[in-house]
Amino acid sequence: MDGRAAEPIEEVGESSSPPRGAGGQGAYDIKNEIYERLLESENEEVRSNPYFKEQFDAHFSRLPPSYKLDLNVDRADDVLIHQKVLAEAKDPDKRPVFHVRFQKIEEQNVDTTKNSEDTEDESEFGDTLSARHEVTYAMVHEIIFSTIDKPKLLSQLSTLLSDIGLNIREAHVFSTTDGYSLDVFVVDGWYEEDTDGLHKEIEAAIYRNEGSWSGSSHSSATERILAVQLKADDWEIDRRVLKMGEKFGSGSCGDLYRGNYLGQDVAIKIIRSDHLNEPLLLEFQQEVSILKNVQHDNVVRFIGACTKPPQYCIVTEYMHEGNLYDYLHKHHNVLELSMLLKFAIDVCKGMDYLHQNNIIHRDLKTANLLIDSNLVVKVADFGVARIQNQGGVMTAETGTYRWMAPEVINHQPYDQKADVFSFGIVLWELTTSKIPYESMTPLQAALGVRQGLRPVPLDKTHPRLLDLMQRCWETAPAKRPTFSEITVELEELLEQVQQESRASTRQEKHASKDSVK
């Protein structure tokens, strides 16, 4: 994977939901009509303010063009509320500022049924249909937040709302040109119209997490959009805004493209139509099912999927440094011990999270470990992953021979410890920068593993790493450690290595001073 192409230019702010204005309003400048509506209103705040026009124009100039698409002329007062919360957010003692209001939203269901009175004319005119409109109302609350913009702000806000027991139906988020956020959530889950009670509950939740609101670094709105947790069916990608870029890889059944979705740099895995069959579709559905239910810093972030014909695809975050296999073998990187341990710990944390959620990866190898622009390693590719307790006999010989556990090769029952064996091979790969069993064909390697063959470590391998990898690839699965245990061992070793490095640096400084004297 070549992730070094030029970065796309991001909008200042975006919305994570479709525009809420009436149809067609985005085709003209809604700003002017809202201004006229506000002047015609009985709002004393507008009538008595001689600087209203200047303040109104300044408000729109702070926000991105997409802000106008979210407005509705029939709710012109929304702009006044947005102005107010943004103005209050300038006071550090008030941040985050929020406003709560109750809404009753009309939800219309159309039931199309045959009109029995017209059945005599069916042969001449075809079926006569009548539509019955059933109108229901959803009781929701709108919560508007404003504070200093910073990384992962939307994730923080959505977690706060979730902790209160609210379900986010929509999230409209914007970043101002001077570094503030304007976040509008439409939520359900609050048991009554009582806005005062909800206001107090949010205030208490903010107070409980007071220390986490510090910081003022600016973040892109797209990062914040994609962090929000929406209901499951919202993972369906809108193809109209999914932009395809360059192809950077291909597999036996699909191709990988770099792309853009709502301003986010993404990777798009497309299942080729000429390979579509029932087993492949089941594999695709399995991968989507797992990805949309996992969230961890060391698991590739799922953004969405196209799950309807004619084109099936999975969209994830784009990992700019490619996969670990290429990083080691194509780019010929030899890892320093501290970096090696950091990479290994990242893998362990991601795998431990999966195992804690009863997921067996079944194809853990360096090609399925991706590296982001901050050199964080994340577990990816869940095409053959399996929920351990979902029943049935798991398929033998699933995965890739050079990294495959002997019990899988031998068609024996297996569990999560098969992933631990694969990690042992990955750890050897990290220490040597070599391909496992390089002089053998994959099948020869598999036959060798059945007979007890393992990769030969380098003489200079750290003894604690050597001991760990050998325990990971034990023939008996029960003798292998868990990823929780491996993580602890690797973190202790990393701390030891860093302490030794610091001590060595201090000694060199002292030696340098002595030589000057």
Confidence of residue 215 (pLDDT cuts 50, 70, 90): very low
Question: Which among 285, 317, 349 is the end of a domain?
Answer: 317
pLDDT interval class at 155 (50, 70, 90)? low
337-380 per-position pLDDT tens digit: 999 999 999 999 999 999 999 999 989 999 999 999 999 999 99
Say which residue the tokens 């004619």 belong to.
310
Residue 120 falls inside a structural domain: no
Residue 285 has pLDDT above 70, yes or no: yes
Shared domain check, 206 and 136: yes
pLDDT tens digits, 228-245: 433 445 688 888 888 999
When pLDDT is averaged across residues 148-164 and rounded to a whole number, the result is 75
Judge if 353 and 312 occupy the same domain: no
Question: Which residues, in sequence order, are CB contacts of 169 under 8 Å at separation 6+?
Answer: 140, 186, 187, 188, 231
Same domain, 338 and 443: yes
- Domain membership of residue 393 (yes or no) is yes
Answer yes or no: are the C-beta atoms of 143 and 202 closer than 8 Å.
Answer: yes
pLDDT of residue 399: 65
Total domains in the chain come to 3
Same domain, 144 and 22: yes
Residues 195 and 308 in one domain: no
Position 487 confidence tier, pLDDT thresholds 50, 70, 90? very high
Whole-number pLDDT of residue 449: 93
Q: Are residues 157 and 83 in the same domain?
A: yes
CA distance 114 to 298: 54
Query: Which has the closest alpha carbon to 213: 111, 89, 127?
Result: 89
> Is 300 inside a domain boundary?
yes
Both 222 and 248 in one domain: the answer is no
CA distance 268 to 273: 15
Answer whether residue 508 is part of any domain: no
Mean pLDDT of all residues belonging to the chain: 79
Q: Is the N-terminal amide bond of 463 cis, ω within 30° of 0?
A: no
Last residue of a domain, one of 174, 196, 230: 230
Q: Are residues 301 and 415 in the same domain?
A: no
Domain that holds residue 344: 324-500
Q: What is the pLDDT of residues 73-116, one digit of tens each?
A: 888 889 999 999 999 999 888 889 999 998 877 655 544 444 44
CA distances in angstroms from 126 to 111, 118, 123, 286, 447, listed in the order given? 19, 10, 6, 43, 68
Give the pLDDT score at 475. Answer: 96
**Packing angle of the helix pair 195-208, 153-164 (nearest 10 deg):** 120
pTM check: above 0.85: no
Q: Is residue 510 part of a domain?
A: no
CB atoms within 10 A of CB 463: 7
- Residue spans of alpha helices (H) in 102-245: 122-125, 153-164, 195-208, 221-227
342 & 433 share domain: yes
The whole-number pLDDT of residue 154 equals: 67
Considering the domain architecture, whether residues 342 and 465 belong to the same structural domain is answered as: yes
What the block records as the tokens of 18 is 């479709």
CATH of the domain at 477: 1.10.510.10
- Is 9 within the bounds of a domain? no
Q: What is the mean pLDDT of residues 276-291?
A: 78
Residues ≥6 apart with Cβ < 8 Å to 14:
64, 66, 173, 174, 221, 222, 225, 262, 263
2 is a domain residue:
no
Q: Going by DSSP bridges, is the β-strand pair 242-250/254-261 parallel, antiparallel, or unpaired?
A: antiparallel
* Res. 414: pLDDT tops 70: yes
Residues acting as catalytic residues? 363
Tell me, yes or no, whether 471 lies in a domain. Answer: yes
Average pLDDT (17-42) is 66
246 confidence band (pLDDT: 50, 70, 90): very high
At residue 203, the pLDDT reads 87
422/437 same-domain check:
yes
From 230, 246, 268, the end of a domain falls on 230
> Are 220 and 271 in a shared domain?
no
